């Protein structure tokens, strides 16, 4: 479903991605682990068509992310790190805008069903400004799901949320995964990747330094926990991705 | 699929955001305070001592203030809206991730900018009428305002997409939009300036908007000014479309 071939992306002289190769199958839940500045967010932006690689090629569902961006956009749902919502508008207005922009059939019904699924039906017509952080996060994820994407890109979806809300969102993501959607998840939380993903890749300085199931990786590196593998392999710190 | 598919939702969202802002009385006052201040200070105060082309100053000033309000509101709303959506709320990504054409993005955004610019110009015009301004009914005024708001909304898109920070956006307002408001014939006729200064001012669109707004009918001068505004609008809309098509983060 997703192929990344020798992808290079530089910001200034710094390579955010440095010849990265990766293949993710349809229906797979794949986790990307690595420190700040490793290149995780850059990879999500490239897959989402918001940025172009300096060299190499990325494709989603067989469509090139540069030359067939419109086709890629029809396949993906994206959740970025920020709660990128119109805060003066209501949850219903935020979802309706997305539904109409993507020409979803029976948009009003789809929006109402999503608000119910997210547990936001009672807050649907009050401005987003008044929602808690967890509610906003649910809304952002729900918006990405409105189009029934075949691929869901989640960039640090639970960063900064308290453990109870994080577990609540994990259940939502698990539900999406179990429905056959391909999920790509970047995270700093190793237990999040272990819980949700069948395979994980460890990325450092724009390169994939290890890939496999959590069990395989811990066995391969003789570590007690996956977190020890990540700490041992990933050295980057403090550079913007 | 129509190339304009998606323009409607973008326009509707912008208007919803505008209505949410209008619900705050301080916002409306802040948006109108500058043109109203000029109207009171120059039109009702100083203006009573001044006559231009045999007419009173209010008749000269109000169309200029309408043009200035239209320019400021169309440009600022679009440019700062995109700037904030890109760098603060990050909602511009939502539009860029949708499978809609650059034409639809430009059409929806510019139409919303036009609505805001026209709203401000009409409010200034209503205050002018209350103060005693009596314009000749002519199609030149609405045509000029439509073209002016479209071209400044398109310019707002270009600047909103070009800038890399909020500070850079302020620079364009300070060095491009504000001087245009003062020098393009809002407060005095360009004919009163030396030719070395008035000639380059004819390269700026607000000059031609002000010329068209002061005509008593669709005269030759009005048609020429409207033609130049159309040319500006087409060029800037094309530029905005190109910026959207090439947008990458």
Express each pLDDT in B87-97 by its tens digit.
Answer: 999 999 999 99
Among A186-200, A220-234, B155-169, B190-204, where is mean pLDDT lowest? Answer: A220-234
Give a yes or no: residue B161 inside a domain: yes
pLDDT at A226 over 90: no
- Check: CB of residue B218 under 8 Å from CB of residue B135: no
Domain count, chain B: 1
Q: Do B97 and A78 touch (CB under 8 A)?
A: yes
Give a yes or no: residue B1 inside a domain: no
Please name the residues in contact with B247: beta carbons below 8 A apart, sequence gap of 6 or more.
B96, B161
pLDDT at B153 over 70: yes
pLDDT at A240 over 50: no
Other CB atoms within a 10 A radius of the CB of residue B78 amount to 29
Give a yes or no: residue B117 inside a domain: yes
Q: Which residues of A touch B10 (CB under 8 A)?
A: 101
- Beta bridge mates, A153: A78, A184
Q: Which domain holds residue B11?
A: 7-245
Work out the burial of residue B174: count CB atoms within 10 Å of its CB; fewer than 13 is exposed, 13-18 middle, 19 or more buried.
exposed
Domain residue ranges in chain A: 2-85+149-233
Give a yes or no: residue B2 inside a domain: no
Alpha-carbon distance values, A35 to A38, A221, B68, B86 (Å): 6, 19, 51, 25
Q: Do A87 and B249 touch (CB under 8 A)?
A: no
Work out the burial of residue B73: count CB atoms within 10 Å of its CB; fewer than 13 is exposed, 13-18 middle, 19 or more buried.
buried
CA distance A94 to A85: 7
Residues of chain B with pLDDT > 70, as a percent, come to: 99
Q: Which residues of B touch A100 (CB under 8 A)?
A: 8-9, 12
CA distance B16 to B65: 26
ipTM score: 0.86
Q: In the prediction, which pLDDT does B151 show? A: 98
Cβ pairs bridging A and B (under 8 Å): 68
Categorize the per-residue pLDDT at A235 as very low, low, confident or very high, splitting at 50, 70 and 90.
low
* Token couple for B14: 């912008």
Q: In the prediction, which pLDDT does B105 show? A: 97
Mutation target vs B (from A97, A127, A152, A240; most B CBs, 10 A cutoff): A97
A59 interface with B at CB cutoff 8 Å: no
Task: Kindly report the average pLDDT of chain B as a whole number.
Answer: 90
Sign of CA dihedral B217, B136, B183, B36: negative
CATH topology of domain A2-85+149-233: Rossmann fold (3.40.50)
Instruction: Indicate whether this model's pTM tops 0.80.
Output: yes
Other CB atoms within a 10 A radius of the CB of residue A149 amount to 20
State how far Cα B133 lies from the chain centre: 21
Categorize the per-residue pLDDT at A239 as very low, low, confident or very high, splitting at 50, 70 and 90.
very low
Q: Do B93 and A86 touch (CB under 8 A)?
A: no
Chain B 137-196, residues with CB within 8 Å of chain A CB atoms: none
Q: Which long-range contacts (CB under 8 A, 24 or more apart) does B168-176 make?
A: B169/B79, B169/B80, B169/B83, B172/B79, B173/B75, B173/B76, B173/B79
């Amino acid at each position: 479903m997703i192929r990344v071939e020798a992808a290079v992306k530089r910001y200034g002289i710094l390579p955010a991605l440095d010849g990265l190769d990766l293949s993710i199958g349809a229906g797979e839940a794949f986790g990307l682990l690595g420190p700040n500045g490793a290149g995780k967010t850059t990879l999500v932006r490239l897959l989402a068509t918001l940025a172009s690689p300096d060299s190499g090629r990325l494709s989603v569902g067989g469509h090139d992310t540069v030359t067939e961006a419109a086709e890629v956009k029809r396949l993906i749902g994206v959740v970025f790190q920020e709660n990128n919502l119109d805060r003066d508008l209501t949850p219903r207005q935020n979802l309706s805008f997305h539904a109409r922009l993507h020409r979803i059939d029976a948009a009003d019904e789809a929006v109402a069903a999503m608000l119910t699924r997210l547990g936001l039906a009672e807050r649907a017509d009050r401005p987003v400004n008044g929602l808690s952080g967890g509610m906003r996060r649910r809304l952002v994820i729900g918006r990405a799901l409105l189009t029934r994407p075949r691929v869901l890109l989640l960039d640090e979806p639970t960063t900064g949320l308290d453990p109870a809300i994080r577990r609540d969102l994990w259940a939502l993501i698990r539900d999406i995964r179990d429905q056959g959607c391909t999920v790509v998840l970047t995270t700093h939380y190793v237990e999040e990747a272990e819980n949700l993903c069948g395979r994980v890749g460890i990325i450092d300085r724009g390169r994939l330094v290890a890939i496999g199931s959590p069990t395989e990786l811990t066995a391969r590196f003789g570590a007690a926990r996956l977190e020890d593998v990540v700490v041992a392999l990933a050295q980057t710190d403090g550079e913007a991705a | 699929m129509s190339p304009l598919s998606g323009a409607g939702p973008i326009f509707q969202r912008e208007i919803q955001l505008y209505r949410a802002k209008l619900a705050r009385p301080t916002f409306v006052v802040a948006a109108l305070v500058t043109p109203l201040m000029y109207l009171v200070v120059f039109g009702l105060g100083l203006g009573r001592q001044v006559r231009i082309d045999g007419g009173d100053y209010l008749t000269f000033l109000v169309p200029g203030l309408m043009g200035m309000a239209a320019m400021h509101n169309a440009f600022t709303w679009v440019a700062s809206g995109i700037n904030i959506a890109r760098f603060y709320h990050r909602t511009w990504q939502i539009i860029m991730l949708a499978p809609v054409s650059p034409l639809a993005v430009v059409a929806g955004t510019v139409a919303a900018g036009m609505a805001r610019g026209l709203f401000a110009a009409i409010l200034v015009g209503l205050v002018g009428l209350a103060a005693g301004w009596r314009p000749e009914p002519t199609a030149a005024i609405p045509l000029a305002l439509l073209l002016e708001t479209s071209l400044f909304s398109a310019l707002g898109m270009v600047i909103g997409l070009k800038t890399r920070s909020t500070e850079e956006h302020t620079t364009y307002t300070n060095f491009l939009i504000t001087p245009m408001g003062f020098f393009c014939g809002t407060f005095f006729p360009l004919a009163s300036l030396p030719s070395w200064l008035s000639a380059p001012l004819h390269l700026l669109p607000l000059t031609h908007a002000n010329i068209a707004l002061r005509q008593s009918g669709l005269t030759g001068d009005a048609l020429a000014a409207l033609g130049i505004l159309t040319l500006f609008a087409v060029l800037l809309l094309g530029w905005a479309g190109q910026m959207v098509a090439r947008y990458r983060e």
